Structure 1
Amino acid sequence: MSILAETSSSLEQIKLVLEKELPMYREAFCDRTCFIMACLSELVYLKFNKPILDPNDKELVKKVSNLLVDESKLLNLYKLLELLSYNHEEEKEKLKKELDILDFQIDKLFNKEGTQAMIVSTSKFYALVFRGTEATSIADIKSDLKAKQTKCELGGKIHTGFKEAFELVQKEIQDYIDENLKDKPLLITGHSLGGALATVATKSLKYDKIAACYTFGSPRVGDEIWMLGIKAPVYRIVNSADPVTMLPFGTEAVDILTFLFRFVPYIGEKISRYLESNFSGYSHAGYMRYLTNIENGEFEKAELVYSVSFLRRIRAYLLRKMPFSSIPADHAISVYRKKLHFIAFKRNQ
């Protein structure tokens, strides 16, 4: 079964969306481009990088098993090994087949110490796609948690973890761009942590034909001064109750916390100063587009609207129009992609 084309009708709908030429060299948002970037942001999760554990390394499994006597622990070990091991060549072939549906080819894969990305292309443009947070990747989780801001050489302050994660592959990506990308525009995209890295890349990479950046479920990356240096348009897609898009906390939330901590005896003032100097100032980059809530997997009923205020989202919670049970699912890139699939199809029939 294909990830992108689950049915023959969905495959036909994708082909219809692809028939029209995508707009490039302009700041206008395009629902078809957005859908394709969501597809790529989902496909980059396919594990083209080599696994931590070799699934065929039976000797390693035997050695570890001998250390465990408890059968329940052995069962957990086998589950962990199954989760961490996979055939990356098979995953790479699957990636190629899925990209064929979108008429893309793989140009270059990047993988270094937990940061993964790929450059793919069509006859019209290139796309740089960053992988998001993986639950089994300690490096990804560490990058997410390093929310303390650090000064950026290009001005302003940036999330320390995102900066460090991008710098792992920055030189390799820049070298590849310098040597191989010619004439065609470049789109940059990613989901979750990948969206944050895509934002950093849009600001940091040197290529005069960066057309736009599309992020899905991206957390905040830096302060307003840092964002001023982003020349290409950034389109930030937020799905319903996705909680990651509200992190790290914005300036208003940090201001409230620093105010409250000042009333804590002895250590309150120190905590307030620490929060203010290291976490205050986070703001979202780019132009927001909001995917509305749906019920029971009715993706065809989703709408893509302009910026929705935080208060409106809170109101939706209170009125139970946005159930708390949907919060984890709303961050999934597959949900973003399925909603955008129908939006792109309906608007371009």
Structure 2
Amino acid sequence: MYFENKKLLKPPVNRAAYSDRTAWLMAEMARLAYFNFEGSLNIDDIAKSLAGESSEKTIKDVLSKLIDDKQQTSDKAKKELDSYLTLSEFTLVDVFNTEGTQAFLASSDTYGMNVLAFRGTEADIKDIKADLNGVTIEINGATIHSGFYNAFNYVKKDVETALQSLSSNGYPLYVTGHSLGGALALLATKFLASDSLGACYTYGSPRVASSLFGDDIKTPIYRIVNAADLVPRVPPAYVQYFLIAIFEIAHIPFISSAIVKLLEKTVGYRHHGDMRFLTACNTDYSDLRLLQNPTIIDRALRLTKRLLATMFKAGATDHFIKTYSNKLAAYAERRN
């Protein structure tokens, strides 16, 4: 179920400063973005339906029916997505699904806000290619991860059109996403909402671009990182320089040059925005803290302690969006 904490469904949208309630609400939106609103085709069913067929007409008829079935599944899924949004007094405006990039746009007259939520990485070859494509491109002097940039551009025009249809309501736009979705949310903030009265909230987001990337973004960016989540940290800039030096000294035939080339592609990447760090805590969240921009030494010590205590499992489990949402809900309830 989504949006179970009704007490938190009153985000203070008249200000763009960091809000505990908005942080939780955006985490739920980022979680909801993983809902399969686009429907799906079962490859096994397709294979069985076409097995042994040689007639072009029969193949076309089967594929046509499967596409129709997918459309019906998609329509049903979008209605279900809208029903989940209704729980938080939002309505679905549009969904976007192009070349492996998914997002939805929602609006709330109750709270006077629009929300654009991007889906994060899934076990899909297009998402994996976007994550791994570390080649940089340069735009207005800033270097940007080309895989993320290309993934964003697949839906950019459609999102722009949908946002224009909402311009008459005058509500601020909040952009959010988890993991890859956080990277896409940052790009959307940069290129579609750089001077918004709303804000951008990301969860476990990787680094996207060089420091110059954020110079003209006026919209507040809040970057939430949970305990030992490794995605926002891999690899830190100082580790990149260290590894480059090590592999150049080691000079392992073929391997060293390939690794150095890969590391150099992303050495200039930086995080953007105001960081909020969720500490490791007891299962009842009684000792949970939310630290604002902790020092790199503090984070390194906490990371090491957490990884050792969990035999390194927390590096992955602390990345789950549900964990982010639960911790933010507990913290917000305690403070409100």
Task: Assess same fold via TM > 0.5.
Answer: yes
- What is the aligned residue count? 313
Matches within 5 A, 1:40-189: 40-53=29-42, 58=45, 60-61=47-48, 87-123=73-109, 124-135=112-123, 137-152=124-139, 154-182=140-168, 183-189=170-176
Cα distance in 2 for residues equivalent to 1:302 and 1:92: 36
Asked if the contact 1:196/1:220 (under 8 Å) is kept, the reply is yes
Equivalent residue, structure 2, for 1:325: 313
CA deviation map 1:40-95 (0-9, x unaligned): 001111100131437xx846336569xxxxxxxxxxxxxxxxxx9x9444433332
User: Percent sequence identity over matched residues?
Assistant: 34
Secondary structure at the aligned position of 1:119 is classed as: strand
Asked if the contact 2:173/2:193 (under 8 Å) is kept, the reply is no
CA deviation map 1:102-149 (0-9, x unaligned): 1111011111010001110111010111011112x1111111111222
Q: CA deviation at 1:251?
A: 2.5
**Of residues 281, 289, 292 in structure 1, which corresponds to 2:268?**
281
1:246 aligned onto 2:233 = yes
1:334 aligned onto 2:333 = no
Cα distance in 2 for residues equivalent to 1:318 and 1:304: 18
Asked if the contact 2:142/2:213 (under 8 Å) is kept, the reply is yes
Equivalent residue, structure 1, for 2:14: 24
State TM-score, norm by structure 1: 0.81
Which residue type is aligned with residue 13 of structure 2? P
Which residue type is aligned with residue 109 of structure 1? V
Matches within 5 A, 1:252-291: 252-265=238-251, 274-275=261-262, 277-291=264-278
- Rate the CA distance shift 1:115–1:258 in 2: closer, same or farther, 3 A: same
Equivalent residue, structure 2, for 1:227: 214
CA deviation map 1:270-303 (0-9, x unaligned): 55873565221111110100111124x4345422
Equivalent residue, structure 1, for 2:67: none
Aligned Cα RMSD in Å? 2.8
Equivalent residue, structure 2, for 1:81: none
Cα distance in 1 for residues equivalent to 2:268 and 2:35: 35
Asked if the contact 1:316/1:322 (under 8 Å) is kept, the reply is no
State TM-score, norm by structure 2: 0.84
Cα distance in 1 for residues equivalent to 2:226 and 2:303: 14
Cα distance in 2 for residues equivalent to 1:277 and 1:318: 26
Cα distance in 2 for residues equivalent to 1:207 and 1:176: 17
Bigger drift between 108-117 and 297-306 goes to 297-306
Q: CA deviation at 1:228?
A: 1.5
Cα distance in 1 for residues equivalent to 2:325 and 2:145: 27
Bigger drift between 161-170 and 326-335 goes to 326-335
Cα distance in 2 for residues equivalent to 1:100 and 1:200: 27
